[in-house]
Chain A
């Protein structure tokens, strides 16, 4: 009698502790460490239109994450943007395209390291297909972490990289 009462008191407490433990564990899994390991931070988007339009559905990814030809391909079919219609008027589309190209991975001052492993006839359409992205996440981030409801998608850099908005996608 006494035991069962005790258990009924303790059980919710232990359940709470367990779920707190899960939260902590997942938190540790995704814990951000703000500064990039040796690598320079990415240059963030500073253009207001690019911030607003690209940043409406996902973070406005740094243009230096993809080569020029990728941005051209992406911007050339915004009406089917990974299954979404993200079409913009021609003027806005050109403005954004010009900005992305001027700051692409292979633009002047871009880092050649980020194009390593991409054949010149390949046009990656997703940042997550880039060899540098795969290298950085492989073995470090459990595939299930991307399915965590708080992360939801590989597109959601900010879920783990808390410094992403400032260009810090550092080691994690």
Chain B
């Protein structure tokens, strides 16, 4: 029984590790939090579509996440004021999505700018899942 629970723990650890060296516990907790509230499994594919889509509803000059972040999450983006935005992709910027307050602050601002509304928990989970896969 004991041996079995240990081997399960080891197997779980291996699965987590194989999901990439990217599985930062803080990011995972944020992702799990959104997923639990949404009641859906995070989907990197949906996150990608969301990131690339022209949404409308927000400001015309920033219709998409890509208006400032650029098409490639592994590359730097640019703010409207011309300042560089460090890449969103976790492979390039391992510190991304590890500070819950920062994550909420920027979803709060940018969802409103791009979509004219708050993002749903499902959208946030998908977005992070996509960036974690990049």
Contacts and interface: CB of A to CB of B under 8 A. Distances in A.
A156 B109 contact: no
A84 B80 CA distance: 10
A155 B82 CA distance: 7
Q: Most chain-B Cβ atoms within 10 A of its Cβ — which of A84, A86, A151, A153?
A: A84
Contact of B82 (A55, A83, A153): A153
Contacts of B83: 55, 57-59, 156, 158
B80 to A, nearest CB: 7
Nearest to A59: B83
Nearest to B61: A83
Interface string B79-91: 1111100000000
Contacts of B82: 58, 151-153, 155-156, 159
Interface in A120-156: 151-153, 155-156
B112 interface: yes
Q: Most chain-B Cβ atoms within 10 A of its Cβ — which of A55, A57, A58, A59?
A: A57
A162 to B, nearest CB: 14
Contacts of A57: 79-81, 83
A58 B79 contact: yes
Contacts of A87: 109
Interface in A26-79: 55, 57-59
B78 interface: yes
A58 B68 CA distance: 13
Contacts of A159: 82
A153 B84 CA distance: 12
A16 to B, nearest CB: 24
Contacts of B59: 83
B113 interface: yes
B109 A58 contact: no
B81 A153 contact: yes
A85 interface: yes
5 contacts: A59-B83, A84-B109, A152-B78, A152-B81, A152-B82
Interface of B: 59, 78-83, 109, 112-113
